[in-house]
Structure 1
Amino acid sequence: MMSESGNIIQIPIEEEVKTSYLNYAMSVIVSRALPDVRDGLKPVHRRLLFAMEELGLRNNAPTKKSARITGDAMGKYHPHGDLSLYDALVRMAQDFSLRYPLVQGQGNFGSIDGDPPAASRYTEAKLSKIGEEMLADLDKETVDFVPNYDESLKEPSVLPSAIPNLLINGSSGIAVGMATNMPPHNLREVAQAIEAYIENPDISIDDLMNYVKGPDFPTGGIIYGMQGIRDAYATGRGRLTVRGRFIIETMKSGREQIVFTEIPYALNKTTLVTRIAELVRDKQIDGISDLRDESDRDGIRIVLELKKGAITKIVLNQLFIHTPLQSTFGVINLALVNGAPKCLNLKELITYYVQHRFEVVTRRSQYELKKAEERAHILRGLVIALQNIDEVVAIIKASRNVDTAKTNLRERFGLSDAQAQAIVDMRLGRLTSLETEKLLAELKETEARIEYLRALLADSAAIHAVIKKEIHELAEKYGDERRTEIVPNQVEQINIEDLIKPEEMVILISNKGFIKRISVNQYRSQGRGGKGSNSTSLLEDDFLQQLFIANTHDYLLFISSWGKAYWLKALEIPEASRQARGSHIRSLLAISQDEEITAVVDFSDFSDKQYILMGTLKGVVKKVATKEFANAKTRGIIGISLDDGDRLVSAILTGGTDEVMLISRKGLALRMQESQVRQMGRTARGVRGLTLQEEDELAAMLRVDSEESMLIITQNGYGKRVKYDLFTPHSRGTRGQIIYEPDESSGEVIKAITVREEDEVMVITSMGKTIKLNVSAVRQMGKAARGVRIVNIDPPDLVIGMDKIVQQVELEGSAPNLVPELK
């Protein structure tokens, strides 16, 4: 670095960089990016408003070209780019950017769609009515004036700001190492809080929040939760969750449409609509058939027409999680206090505003007192002259010139130079008696004003009363109703389940452990005896081992050959096409290498009123409350202790007082009371349910429903329907009664399920073929009947599974558990 004398001074570069950077940072912070706590303005906005005042662009005056305004401000006070000046001017005129615009624009000043404003040579502007309040009393020495950039002119260091601009319009800006992001508020609420503070300077922030409910954005919307607001008001920092406002309309076709009438603050509407369209196209949002922007001068109207059958709540949750229709507004109440940045709470913001107004009112009163005293002094001289008018006229007539006349008047009546000047300047028309009375009345009024101003300046409480009265009048004049609704409850976290439509899924599990889910809608009904269709693509030595139907929001409890229990939500199982192999179950559950899943049951919730009744190959049964499995998840916990050589065959959901039917592969069936099996812990072995013959095994376990019947199917595809009423209850541990007599052509009983006449069932073979058929196609038969062929299979293919497809009427009956609440 070189000194003034021309000598080179050696200094470490890090010191020079540090000093230069700090100087630059402070310049940006103080002179560009952060608002002043007193008037809530950055220098560019303050200079623009002052330039408009100098141009006489009051609200009752004609507008002038924006280029003229920005040119004046740039040439006189703000030597920066005209584009930055024009952008600042435009923002002060946008009713979607400022809660109370300070500038009234004429022409295209941009739109909420992100449309840019017209060039400054085309638009015109002037101060709005409330904008004039920012400059009120500026000519009464209320604020300090400082030299402009070249010291050729003077500009105000701050505006009088009769309105609490920083609170009602907010501010945003990025400085070096810090930023401000202050939300706007409602003028009436802020005014009430200011009045309450003036009445009680020790008022708490919680009490101030009784008046200032929260931010009030110009675009409306809904703020969820009070914690973010409370944090912002208590510490100066907080996070607000804001959502757009919507209504649900029903069209003539009976379908619904979602109409958003308000969107979060500072959100570009065109960008929002484009984003929604992209998400619909990419199928990240499902259920929307048409998207239209019907917004006009009457307000925002974004219409999302839903597909038939789409669930409105799910579509809304998808919109809120994937689009800015739910946004977070991060509050940072950073402003300049005495030239230094400070993060302010609500009370501090009000305090600094009141202090500023106290100084403005004080200086205004001092100015008015000085002017009133000067005027009273002149009036007293004029009154003396009128009371001695003949002598005054004679003195003036006898004087050689004006200076001599003023000297003679001062000497004769003891007047000041200003009073003598006023007398010699007085017109003859003021000598009438009416004019004399006016002078006396004006003098009396001025003296009363002087007395009031002196009393005011001597009493700080009186000055605060003036501030209170003025802010109340401003609130009455410019205040309006709140636009942003505040919901006290915090918006609930959107769960992935809320984004997935409840629907019936076919869950397929192969012998080698591949699992997938397929929508039931991908299958078509066939007649009895149909050949079926391929439902999955398997390895040569693999075959499908299990099939069942579950809702996407159900819990699926997996019980393994080791007696361990795991659970997943059905929606957590990867969905795949009918031809895909699926995902290996080991990628979803933490099961061991030689452990396999042998039973699966689905239910809607963990409870101590519902039970899992398990049945093993050797006829052992066990009852455990579903709540015992709540901690199982994917790591697994013990569900049942098994004897050597035994494994789990079936597990069903029961209510504790049901009747169950145990059916063996050799065709024996035992109807028994579930209450005969006591509730046990997870690690218990269980008790004997069905006494089996040698080489017989348990094939199925059903919950008895007298209004339904059993559908039985054998290895080779034969089956029949049998009524429960044909079987009488027996004690636990007995052999039961005959339900089917297997032979070589039919094969042993492989599966039995409970069905109704209107049900549909899914049958699957070891080679991966499936058939979906109506139960009504299989007729009712007696206990010993051989049945009919349900599915034609070619050896060595065998039937390995069958399950019922839940009917839509059952879904609607359990809607509260299946349809998520709107978050």
Structure 2
Amino acid sequence: MPQELIHSEYSEIMQKSYIDYAMSVIVQRALPDVRDGLKPVQRRTLYDMYELGIRWNGPYRKSARIVGDTMGKYHPHGDSSIYDALVVMAQDFKKELPLVDGHGNFGSIEGDGAAAMRYTEARLAKITQEAFLADLDKDVVDFVPNFDETEKEPSILPVRIPNILINGAEGIAVGMATSIPTHNPGEVIDLMIAYMKNPDMSTKQAMQYVKGPDFPTGGIVTNKDELEEIYSTGQGKIKLRGRVITEPGRAGHTKVVVTEIPYTMIGSGIGKFLSDTAALQENHLTNDISDISNQSSKEGIRIVIDLKKGADVDNFINLLYKKTKLEDTFGVNMLCVCDGRPETLGLVPIIRHNVEFQYEINRRKYTTLLNKEREKKEIQEGLIKACDCIDLIIEILRGSKDRKMACDCLVNGNTEGIKFRKKTSEKAAKTLLFTQKQADAILDMRLYRLIGLEIDALRADYDETMKNIANYTDILENRESMKKTIIADLRKLKKEFAAPRKTTIDNVAEAVIVEKPVEETDQVVLIDRFGYARGVDTATYERNKEAADSESRRVIFCKNTDKLIIFTDTGNADTLKVLDLPLGKFRDKGEPVDNVSNFDGSKERALFLGSISEIVGKEMYFITKRGMIKKVAGDEFLSSRKTIAATKFKDDDELVAVGILDPDSTIEIKTEKRHKKKLSAADFPLKHKTAIGNIGISLKKGDFVKEAGFVKL
């Protein structure tokens, strides 16, 4: 066969392929559909459980069985993604209405992972069976082929409540992400009913029903006034706080107890909160903490912080809000798949799409039910008619050679070949004219149906069928009747599954920390040869002066409000607060300088370590390996930053010596090849810290400055 070569730009092929890939991830994996609020993996998992008959009131089945069946039939993307989706749908601390009833270890709010799928079991939750899957047998949604076209799966589940709002959603696609908060089921159902009665409602009117998010973890939403804008645009930031109470402790102490956490703290956030709270004490932001304990259990969150006697409780709680994740933001981006494409929707548009979906699935449901009732009516009419002339039918059956002959007589009145006892019977048989379905039902009818009570029951069933036909026809032809039907269903679901709101919605002022003034005292900082620093008061130093001077690499006299500064061979000046160093007894262990500053002892060498107050008002000298020298005013190193550039030099240079300049002394420079040079402070001008400096000593090839210092200190 002749082959045709198609020439195309490689960039065009890559662009098209990437767009196809991106849209596949967006629509078929990462984003939920606005109608059922489910991602494909969630939808397929729930449908597979439905197909396997794992009902809410039946036995649990192994999660591995569910995952394997889902992967083999509907979702060929790996078992971990399916099991992760199953686990999340079973976690009541992540979902407002869990869709799966899990049995076993399905993880915890503190970040513990679920057990392996071979150990856990699951079944459908009652809400899932009744509100998500109940009408699948009534042709309410389209079924599409699975990945290998060996099975059929629903393109959407016939969810009867706005699940996308109730359970929220999180997902990262290509170039976009969704983040929808959870909401109270009762409020969302009320809003749906209200919208059906008033389709022209505004966001403000809608928020009379849905006050705001309702997170499974409770907490407090603190920016109530901003919610209307968020729900109008579908984007914004919700400010969350954990709920804190106080309890009396022993001997007049107070306990600060966290009983609810922000939704964003689920998982490892609790452990980080505990470490961040402990760090408040370690970093001297507070001295009020005496103990921290996590007493959380299955009954709920309980993190207890014991405060010292006389602590300012309100100020400490504000400190928790400001310095830890006890106050956090939840980024809202209500992005979902709408009409086959990603779209960011506000509160009212989401409800509108869900209401339209309800009308669609109810139209298909009642059309199916009406057709079934009409079929039933046809058969019931045939059976009633047959009961009225049962003797004639028995005569036809006794006189026929086979079923086909009897059926042909009942349907077409063909009596040829049938033996009748009376000529009148043959004449009457020709006028029966049942339909094919009626004839089949008559032939399949059992004799006990001829009992008088059974005939009465048959007539009662027929009357019920006629009522159903009238009811279904009214629902399909009258939109108002369908609306009432949908509202009645919604109210039943609300009555059974609604729960009180957990999250409080309010306007709360920003937390303000009142920093207590630190009482200024004299202090001595001792730095040992291993780089550990600690502070002692002057009286302790005087008592241990001899040992302190002999064991310490550096002894610095300063105030507790002072800062220490470290000049390194890389040209940086790192600062740290004296308050960040432990203050205690002489033999107490110190803190590595690396831990409380940006200084890295493994990569750089400290050339000078002293207090800021030491160098203020003085002049500093800097001497580099290439023989450059300069002096800089110590005041230039006053900065609020932890690290600044102390000097400037070429890439192949480094600092060799830094110190406080003594105007009455002479600096002596020594090189590797034993050359020396002496300079007085007047020999070089005052420079800025950003300057390179002047040539302090001329070096021959291969020579460099080895050390420098004062001849007289």
1:259 corresponds to which of 252, 257, 260: 257
Higher mean displacement: 230-239 or 365-374: 230-239
Task: Tell me, yes or no, if structure 1 residue 370 matches structure 2 residue 375.
Answer: no
- Cα distance change, pair 507–464 in 1 and its aligned pair in 2 (3 A): farther
Higher Rg of the two aligned structures: 1
Output the amino acid matched with 1:125: A
Correspondence list, 1:189-208, <5 A: 189-208=187-206
Tell me the amino acid that sits aligned with residue 208 of structure 1: A
Q: Distance in 1 between matches of 2:323 and 2:496?
A: 41
2:339 aligned partner:
338
Partner of 1:740: none
User: What's 2:315 paired with?
Assistant: 314
> Which residue number corresponds to residue 516 of structure 2?
501
Q: Structure 2 vs 1, CA of residues 9 and 284 (structure 1 numbering), >3 Å: closer, same or farther?
A: farther
- Gaps spanning 5+ residues in structure 2: where? 414-429, 524-535, 540-557, 562-576, 584-609, 619-713
Q: Give, as a single letter, the amino acid of the residue that structure 1 aligns with 2:70.
A: A
Look up the match of 2:88.
Answer: 91
Relative distance call for 1:585 and 1:209 in structure 2 (3 A) is: farther
2:97 aligned with 1:100: yes
Alignment of 1:232-311 (within 5 A): 232-267=230-265, 268=267, 269-311=270-312
1:359/1:302 CA distance change after superposition, 3 Å: same
CA RMSD of aligned residues (A): 3.0
Check if 1:74 corresponds to 2:71.
yes
Distance 1:8 1:180 in 2: 43
CA drift at 1:444:
0.6
Instruction: Please name the residue that 1:406 is paired with.
Output: 407
More helix by share: 2
Number of the residue aligned with 2:453: 434
Contact 1:30 1:339 (C-alpha < 8 Å) held by counterparts: yes
**1:575 Cα deviation from its structure 2 partner:** 7.3
CA distance in 2, matches of 1:303, 1:44: 39
Partner Cα separation in structure 1 for residue 118 and residue 18 of structure 2? 37
1:86-133 CA-partner distances (Å, limit 9, x unpaired): 000000000001011000000000001111111111100001111112
**1:444 aligned residue:** 463
Measure the CA separation in 2 of the matches of 1:102 and 1:337.
22
Matched, 1:35 2:36: no
2:146 aligned with 1:148? yes
Q: Which amino acid aligns with 1:130?
A: I
Between 1:223-232 and 1:239-248, the stretch displaced more is 223-232
Q: 1:415 to 1:123 in 2, by over 3 A?
A: same
Q: Give the aligned partner of residue 118 of structure 2.
A: 121
Cα distance, 1:321 vs structure 2 = 2.0
Written as runs of structure 1 = structure 2, the 5 A alignment for 1:323-722 is 323-410=324-411, 411=413, 412=430, 413-487=432-506, 489-492=507-510, 494-495=511-512, 498=513, 500-502=515-517, 582=613
The CA deviation at 1:231 is 2.1
State the alpha-carbon separation in 1 of the partners of residues 189 and 301 from structure 2: 29
SS at match of 1:92: helix
SS in 2 for 1:327: strand
Residue in 1 that maps onto 2:107: 110
Indicate conservation of the 8 Å contact 1:222/1:243, yes or no.
yes
**CA spacing shift, 1:339–1:5, aligned 2, 3 Å:** farther
User: Matched residues in 1 for 2:172 and 2:64: separation?
Assistant: 26
CA contact (8 A) 1:238 1:332 kept: yes
Q: Deviations over 1:640-663 (max 9, x none)?
A: xxxxxxxxxxxxxxxxxxxxxxxx
Task: Give the equivalent residue in structure 2 for 1:183.
Answer: 181
Answer yes or no: is the 8 Å Cα contact 1:334–1:342 preserved in 2. yes
Residue identity in the other structure for 2:433: G
Asked whether the 8 Å contact 2:182–2:214 carries over to 1, the reply is yes
Q: Equivalent of 1:213, from 211, 214, 221? A: 211
Residue type matched to 1:47 in 2? R
* Residue-by-residue CA offset, 1:170-218 (whole Å, 9 max, x unaligned): 0010001111000000011111111111111111110110110000000
Q: Decide whether aligned partners of structure 1 residues 258 and 447 sit closer, same or farther in structure 2, where only a CA change above 3 A counts.
A: same
1:13 aligns with: 10
Pairs within 5 Å for 1:740-779: none
Q: In structure 1, how many angstroms separate the alpha carbons of the residues matched to 2:118 and 2:75?
A: 19
Provide the rounded CA distance (Å) in 2 between the counterparts of 1:428 and 1:142: 38
Q: Deviations over 1:799-818 (max 9, x none)?
A: xxxxxxxxxxxxxxxxxxxx
1:115 aligned partner, one-letter code = D
Distance 2:232 2:154 in 1: 32
Secondary structure, counterpart of 1:310 in structure 2:
coil
Aligned-pair distance for 1:308?
A: 2.9
* CA distance in 1 between partners of 2:480 and 2:196 (Å): 9
Give the partner amino acid of 2:116.
A
- Shift in Å, 1:5: 6.2
Q: CA deviation at 1:500?
A: 1.9
Deviates more, 1:22-31 or 1:229-238: 229-238
3-state SS of paired residue (1:400): coil
For residues 195 and 106 of structure 1, what CA distance do their matches in structure 2 show? 35
- Aligned sequence identity (%): 44
The alpha-carbon deviation at position 315 of structure 1 amounts to 2.0
Query: What SS is found at the alignment partner of 2:57?
Result: coil
CA deviation string 1:702-742 (max 9, x = no partner): xxxxxxxxxxxxxxxxxxxxxxxxxxxxxxxxxxxxxxxxx
Letter in 2 for 1:380: E
Deviation at 1:470, TM superposition (A): 1.2
| Other structure's SS at 2:132 match | helix
Note the alpha carbon deviations across 1:244-302, whole angstroms, 9 max, x for none: 11111111221111110111114222333233334443444542121101112221100
Mark the CA change 1:575 to 1:123 in structure 2 (over 3 Å): closer, same or farther.
closer
Q: Indicate conservation of the 8 Å contact 1:223/1:240, yes or no.
A: yes
CA distance in 2, matches of 1:247, 1:469: 41
Letter of the aligned partner of 2:174 in structure 1? V
Alpha-carbon distance change, 522 to 190 in structure 1, aligned in 2, over 3 angstroms: farther
Relative distance call for 1:5 and 1:117 in structure 2 (3 A) is farther
SS at match of 1:380: helix
Structure 1 residues 241, 583: CA separation in 2 closer, same or farther (over 3 Å shift)? Answer: farther
Gaps of 5+ in 1: 509-520, 525-543, 551-572, 588-823
Contact 1:224 / 1:486 at 8 angstroms: preserved in 2? yes
Matched AA of 1:45? Q
2: distance between equivalents of 1:222 and 1:5? 72
Q: Is the 8 A contact 1:294 1:302 kept in 2?
A: yes
Q: Match of 1:371, as an amino acid?
A: K
Q: Provide the rounded CA distance (Å) in 2 between the counterparts of 1:439 and 1:262.
A: 60
Equivalent residues of 1:289, 1:307 under 8 A apart: yes
- One-letter code aligned to 1:217: F
Deviations 1:12-45 (A, max 9, x none): 2221111011000000001000000000000000
> 2:171 corresponds to which letter in structure 1?
G
Secondary structure in 1 aligned to 2:194?
A: helix
1:501 Cα deviation after fit: 2.3
Q: Is the 8 A contact 2:30 2:171 kept in 1?
A: yes
Q: Give the aligned residue type for 1:466.
A: T
- Quote how far apart the aligned CAs of 1:507 are: 12
Q: Secondary structure at the match of 1:62?
A: coil
Separation in 2 of the partners of 1:292 and 1:140? Answer: 55
Structure 1 195/309 Cα, relative in aligned 2: closer, same or farther at 3 Å? same
Counterparts of 1:249 and 1:86, CA distance in 2: 41
* Letter aligned with residue 18 of structure 1: Q
- Partner deviation per Cα, 1:656-713 (whole Å, 9 max, x = no partner): xxxxxxxxxxxxxxxxxxxxxxxxxxxxxxxxxxxxxxxxxxxxxxxxxxxxxxxxxx
- Encode CA deviations 1:420-470: one digit per residue, 9 max, x unaligned: 000000000000000000000000110110011111100112212212111
How many pairs does the alignment contain?
A: 529
Is the partner of 1:78 in helix, strand or coil?
Answer: coil
Q: Which secondary structure does the structure 2 equivalent of 1:364 belong to?
A: helix
